[in-house]
Amino acid sequence: MLTSKQRAYLRSLANSIDTIIMVGKGGLSEQIIKSADDAITARELIKGKVLESCELSVREVADSIANEINADVVQVIGTKFVLYRRNEKEPVITLPRSKK
């Protein structure tokens, strides 16, 4: 579970990355889930977009993909969403520590 400070940090990193997942009228397919899983393993942070032709809402798509690949939804804004999953073997992103 991400804290608000960690979420804000990830949102700032997501501004500069390209959108790599596109969901259209075909909806969520196994191919989209697999490509999202592969991309998030390599990058830890990915950005996706839901096209107008998709019958699902952006929140539904983001939550579904996140559940399938065991990731956290960082942000859903407009037609775009950002997902994060830490790579345990080779971490790329260092999150700010949460205060306890």
Parse the chain into domains and list their residue ranges: 4-84
Q: What is the mean pLDDT of residues 77-86?
A: 96
Helices 30-43 and 58-69, packing angle to 10 deg: 70
pTM (2 d.p.):
0.92
Q: Say which residues have a Cβ less than 8 Å from residue 87's Cβ, sequence separation at least 6.
A: 41, 42, 44
The rounded distance, in Å, linking the Cα atoms of 34 and 89 is: 19
- For 54, the token pair is 């998709």
Q: Is the pLDDT of residue 60 over 90?
A: yes
Answer CATH for 4-84 from 3.40.630.10, 3.90.930.12, 2.60.40.10, 3.30.110.60: 3.30.110.60
Between strands 19-23 and 45-50, the pairing is parallel
Predicted local distance difference test score (pLDDT) of residue 99: 65
Q: How high is the mean pLDDT of the chain?
A: 92
pLDDT > 70: percent of the chain: 97
Question: What is the total residue count of the chain?
Answer: 100
